[in-house]
Amino acid sequence: MINLEIPKKAKALVNQAHQAAAEVFRPNSRKYDRAEHAYPSELDMLASLLDGLNSSGEGGAGASGVRAGDDDKDKGNRNGGNLSTVLGAIEMCWGDVALLLSMPRQGLGNAAIASVADDEQLERFKGKWAAMAITEPSFGSDSAAVSATAELDGDEYVLNGEKIFVTAGERADCVVVWATLDKSKGRAAIKSFVVEKGTPGFEVVRLEHKLGIRASDTAVLRFENCRVPKENLLGSPEIDTKTGFAGVMQTFDNTRPMVAAMAVGVARAALEETRRVLEEAGVDIDYDKPANTQSAAAATFLQLEADYEAAYLLTLESAWMADNRKPNSLQASMAKAKAGRSGVDITLRCVELAGVYGYTEESLLEKWSRDAKILDIFEGTQQIQQLIIARRLLGKSSAELK
């Protein structure tokens, strides 16, 4: 059974993460929001911190979550790397989302490697900073529409295609690229490949200018006859129409709780700052009185806080399930959907509650409202999460419910 208290063994790591957020992330948050695309050099000394948030020492969500081929030796309740990573991410994003996304060796591609790589690949890519490249100019949330191709030629795969909105696409050591082995066989032929920087045919085309998370680099990548060793294919090279795409999608079951945690951290930061502003303005928030008997500002704040608590608990549940080898696809999507939407709603309402102070650069409230929006979009939009949830609850396939 899930325990809603922070596990004792995670408390020290959570405290470390909060200290890093308070002493490094917060003080530099505005600086790198203004200096878009500049690498935050202050992060170098923190590069090993998030490695410790995962019990496997690999860093990145999913490193000790459910993996293909895992057995169920440990029947007991346990709080492992996923829960620790989620709790750490909440604290770090209380400081700054973009700076967390800029942390070396903590890319979303690391989650893909940790989720589906074999033991040899785990060892070979250990310590690498891996970005993840899925989205293409022709599609957004429909991951099954991947059109980048990978053709086996001797001992190498030849990759061709273009990827957009790749977080850490320029800074990472390697990129996990989704490509299809055979377009005629649909989603079952989609596989993921680790492509290391410097590989001929791999080009960073440009960096995007963005609404939020401006300290994080978001790149457009192009692959033209890019040859990668066949050993860099993650998972099985066989095209199985029943389980082929499921192995690739496994990644999301581990990364979506991580993104949900980011939204929870931003929401908490906004709520804490707004509470301070309201208290200074003489607004009394009383938990012993019904919301409808209090001021409009207090009632709104209580509603936002309730939304935050729901998102927080759903996020912990989805991460805990991954640690305990329980299928968590439904819960991961529920956490991502709730936290993503709540993060946007909470930060925007906090800007309103704080008035002029919330809308200017005098505080970080306006920045948090900009940063929060991407957390409702990447790793599957709000609409996609609701579709996945509906399919799971109704027992419908993707062909039956579109």
Catalytic site residue from 36, 273, 379, 400? 379
367: its two tokens: 């920045």
Q: Tell which residue, 84, 78, 79, has the closest CA to residue 49.
A: 84
Answer yes or no: 400 catalytic.
no
177 in helix, strand or coil? strand
d(CA 128, CA 104): 8
Q: Show the DSSP H helices in 43-184 as ranges.
A: 49-53, 81-95, 97-101, 108-116, 119-124
- H/E run at residue 130: strand 130-133
Beta bridge partners of 207: 219
Helices 296-323 and 329-353, interaxial angle, to 10°? 160
Asked whether 314 and 331 are in contact (CB, 8 A), the reply is yes
- H/E run at residue 304: helix 296-323
Annotated catalytic sites, by residue?
379
